[in-house]
Structure 1
């Protein structure tokens, strides 16, 4: 064979082992999972930076609120009321804790731990408290102080003080007057009524109503609160507003039902979508509000006064007339009434400020300070004149004048528990005088 010139071909190599497709797929899936895990970790880290409490539960709570409709827009838990302007919606408002008690929204829309319509009894002294946020905070944080100081009065012997809260944050006259009349018309009874107000009635009537061409007599920022009511002239814009709210609600419902809801990456996607919708709602709301500048539906009769001074006088006159009407109604029913002008940091020389108050409780701009100062000057003067004519009125703007502790908590008008307790001591003394006069 070797001499024949024939050379045998080398043996064939074994065929290359094919890479299994299954391994490629497994590798692809593994890399995809690793990428998803990495992205989820990054999303979680981002959310922990931007969320108030740094947890996915915060977003889930927001989704639940959006799904129910309670948070599809600012003030969604409020409802337009035929007599009071607006109240809270008991079907949407969440419970909150105040002074160790769970506070619900009662059947009339007031934030209280009981119903607004109650009857007098031999063992309970019913004290109605009217006003805005200061009065509402006072009704909780000063309750024990009031109970202690008033317990020695003859009218409270053998009786337990029970507060009926007709105050709601944002209320201004004549809402206090209307709330009192409304509850009385439904059969509510009181042993005394305390009205604590001033800032909303003066400063906000100017800044949030008159400056926006909204009637001073209308509820605070009525042009914004009434956007849910459609002016036929701008039906297209109103339809878009309602559509955006519906989209936010649907997005919240889908997020709660999604099997991916526990992934931070999915929650980040929802958060960015929801924030975009909120921004669009805000932009559209501003656009509609500007389009409604001459709408009677949203602004009421146009303010006739142009200057801050004239507006302050008009606001003070409305405020004091409303209080006189409250006293007249109470007097006709034999109910002692006391009107208290709440303290405010922009009243000159009303308190020595601490470093905290100087840094955090005074507005940077001058407009809030100047308008509030002008409004309070008129409120104090109107109150003094009405007191001379028989109104049970107490000017408490100087109640903190000798207090060097920190009392105010924000640049508006709110103070802490100590401030409420100090105000309660002063108010209890004034209320005792009113009760003594009507024995």
Structure 2
């Protein structure tokens, strides 16, 4: 009887091992096929990269590491990002908190370099990153004789959430610090109306920094964050620590099945991180108690202004700050180019596919109202800007004839195809202006 039991156990173990081996083989084969379809290369012969972006995980907006809040209060700019590493190879959060390969002030290493300063919010920051990696502006500027065979150095002074007068203030500050520019590009419009609308709802002067970005920092400074917000911050910190560890594990996977399983797990961690960020946004707005005095000073307004009055003020201010940037640039003999950024919530003739609609739109978007009421008034200001000799370009319709998806989220950002189209438009507009005879006459005068 004992021998029979031992034999049955042995047979059971043998069958279990065989099933496990077969399961592993099928899992590995399936993972190999999946990797081949997605990445167009064989997993075992792939080129291993130290770049997290090459792992196929969308880490946009995620700062890998233990930091729970990456922004820091800045005495002049409102807020910046804490200097440190970035997941993109060759990039970092530099000594001023901007995503770029360079520290500032940047000095030319040879006379063949052309320094282009880019100002604005997250769309401008993404444009800078795209340009550093793809050098599209450099290729397009080759058409202009004075830029033939020149090396274009893109310097980003853009951070997500920036809106005027932050661009104007940073330009003046960096010029005072000795930063040289050969061209200046300002990309804005969306934040000025979408985020300023949040200012109005909080009875905060529209020229103050975005409350969505500044209030978490002032809450920490005032020690006034709610318990829920503080707990969420700890969860975000834990998310990021787990994400950092598991990205390293994913990078070191020797088997396709390991890669498949870890990819799913890492994507889940990224999803949890973003959900916690959204949760923090909901919790962070606890007002100070009446007897608690803030250490941060803001210009407030007595009431929430009517939309018609408020957006008219915002549009007028947007035009004035652009004129001032132009005047500062002109006084330093720097060509200035202003681009009014396209956004999905501004209706044009573009036809969205059902797939892109799911990515690009959300009914509860806090930005739709600002675009609806603000964009028409900004468009009206464009003629005034042109009358003041501002090189301003209305990019609202650049995606109208594009069938494939161009938006990467339901806010305002573009995918790789959208970035390519936008960058091409910017480069072509600059070249067209630089080769215009009337522009040459104006600069000579």
Regarding TM over 0.5, the answer is yes
Equivalent of 2:102 in 114, 125, 133: 114
State the partner residue of 1:223. 215
SS at match of 2:187: strand
Which runs of 5 or more residues in structure 2 are unaligned? Answer: 1-61, 243-268
State the partner residue of 1:105. 93
Q: Distance in 1 between matches of 2:352 and 2:280?
A: 39
State the partner residue of 2:74. 81
Q: How does 1:138-157 map to 2 (within 5 A)?
A: 138-142=127-131, 143-157=134-148
Q: Distance in 2 between matches of 1:227 and 1:141?
A: 34
Q: Distance in 2 between matches of 1:292 and 1:323?
A: 40
Q: 2:203–2:303: 8 Å Cα contact kept in structure 1?
A: no
Q: 1:94–1:104: 8 Å Cα contact kept in structure 2?
A: yes
Q: Distance in 1 between matches of 2:157 and 2:236?
A: 31
State the partner residue of 2:154. 163
Equivalent of 1:130 in 115, 119, 127: 119
Question: Rg bigger for which structure?
Answer: 1
Q: Distance in 1 between matches of 2:361 and 2:230?
A: 39
SS at match of 1:126: strand
Superposed displacement of residue 433, structure 1: 3.8
Equivalent of 2:168 in 174, 177, 195: 177
SS at match of 2:206: coil
Alignment RMSD, CA only? 3.6
Q: Distance in 2 between matches of 1:175 and 1:282?
A: 22
State the partner residue of 2:416. 417
Superposed displacement of residue 160, structure 1: 0.5
Q: 2:406–2:414: 8 Å Cα contact kept in structure 1?
A: yes
Q: 1:223–1:299: 8 Å Cα contact kept in structure 2?
A: no
Q: Distance in 2 between matches of 1:351 and 1:248?
A: 40
Identify if the C-alpha distance between structure 1 residues 245 and 341 changes in structure 2 by more than 3 Å, giving closer, same or farther.
closer
TM-score under structure 1 length normalisation: 0.68
State the partner residue of 1:51. none
Once the two structures are superposed, residues 117-139 of structure 1 have per-residue CA deviations (whole angstroms, 9 ceiling, x without a partner) of 12355210111111111111111
TM-score under structure 2 length normalisation: 0.67
Superposed displacement of residue 246, structure 1: 11
Q: How does 1:206-355 map to 2 (within 5 A)?
A: 206=197, 208-221=198-211, 222-230=214-222, 237=224, 285-288=284-287, 297=296, 299-302=298-301, 306-355=305-354
Which runs of 5 or more residues in structure 1 are unaligned? Answer: 1-61, 256-270
Identify if the C-alpha distance between structure 1 residues 327 and 292 changes in structure 2 by more than 3 Å, giving closer, same or farther.
farther
SS at match of 1:398: coil
Task: Tell me whether 396-405 or 360-369 shows the greater mean CA deviation.
Answer: 360-369
Identify if the C-alpha distance between structure 1 residues 433 and 294 changes in structure 2 by more than 3 Å, giving closer, same or farther.
farther
Superposed displacement of residue 104, structure 1: 0.8
SS at match of 2:333: coil
Superposed displacement of residue 112, structure 1: 0.6
Q: 2:115–2:152: 8 Å Cα contact kept in structure 1?
A: yes
